[in-house]
């Protein structure tokens, strides 16, 4: 790993491209797995299922990877600005490659309009991660940011169960509770910790203003999504709402509304 780090740092853009292509290979391989009949019958649902399958692989990999980095190297939590290890730098290369691949998949398949919120999120993440890779600053912060992928596992599973029409299953019920807990612990708490770090150290951080604005934008998105999650899974006030959200309505072309 020590020998690999100079190569990655010398060509961060190429490293990200290679990782992006690898995720594209994963996308192809996952197409060989069986898909629920109700998903196969609708082209849009089928695309969402394939897209979420790759996202699930990324979340399982990078979520566990990020937690491992912090457990082995606790300084990652306290020195967000300048600390990193070869393994954490590689992690950001891999994750950036995924986001590039996913953004490309959304755009090239013609789903950009219905997925603009995802694309906005991806642009913010890619820009921050590329900054970390090229400057070798905030790599630790990017690692901590990937804690949210622990929640993404249950979030992706939730959407896939919806696509398969399994909202009434016991698995969906258990997952929605786990999703709520992980959303608070690994998504909201992670984002707010990073925001606090930037505010507390704002006076000396490189490009602190840009990262603060980015974090505030991300925090706003996360709170909006949390409201949608609570409304959809715990407070479905009316049948009218259920008919409007993107997963329950077969004719919807909206990738993320609940």
Res 55: pLDDT:
97
Res 251: pLDDT:
42
d(CA 115, CA 121): 10
d(CA 195, CA 2): 31
Res 6: pLDDT:
74
Q: Domain spans of the chain?
A: 4-244
Mean pLDDT by 10 residues, the chain (258 residues): 70 93 96 92 93 97 98 96 94 97 95 89 95 96 98 97 94 96 97 96 93 93 93 73 43 48
> Is residue 2 exposed (0-12), middle (13-18) or buried (19+ Cβ within 10 Å)?
exposed
């Amino acid at each position: 790993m020590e020998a690999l780090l100079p190569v990655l740092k010398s060509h961060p853009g190429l490293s990200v491209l290679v990782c992006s292509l690898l995720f594209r290979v994963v996308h192809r391989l996952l197409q060989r797995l069986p898909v629920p009949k109700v998903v196969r019958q609708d082209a849009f649902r089928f695309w969402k299922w394939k897209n979420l399958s790759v996202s699930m692989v990324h979340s399982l990999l990078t979520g566990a990877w990020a937690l491992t980095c912090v457990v082995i190297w606790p300084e990652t939590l306290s020195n967000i600005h300048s600390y990193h290890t070869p393994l954490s730098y590689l992690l950001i290369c891999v994750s950036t490659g995924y986001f590039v691949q996913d953004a490309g998949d959304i755009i090239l398949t013609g789903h950009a309009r219905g997925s603009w919120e995802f694309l906005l999120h991806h642009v913010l993440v890619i820009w921050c991660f590329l900054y970390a890779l090229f400057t070798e600053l905030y790599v630790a912060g990017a690692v901590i940011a990937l804690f949210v992928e622990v929640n993404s596992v249950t979030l992706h599973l939730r959407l896939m169960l919806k696509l398969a029409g399994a909202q009434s299953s016991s698995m969906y019920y258990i997952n929605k509770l786990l999703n709520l807990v992980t959303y608070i612990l690994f998504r909201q708490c992670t984002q707010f910790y990073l925001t606090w770090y930037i505010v507390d150290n704002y006076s000396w951080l490189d490009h602190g203003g840009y990262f603060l604005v980015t974090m505030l934008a991300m925090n706003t998105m996360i709170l909006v999504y949390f409201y949608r999650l609570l409304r959809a899974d715990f407070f479905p006030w009316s049948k009218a709402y259920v008919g409007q959200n993107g997963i329950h309505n077969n004719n919807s072309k909206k990738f993320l509304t609940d």
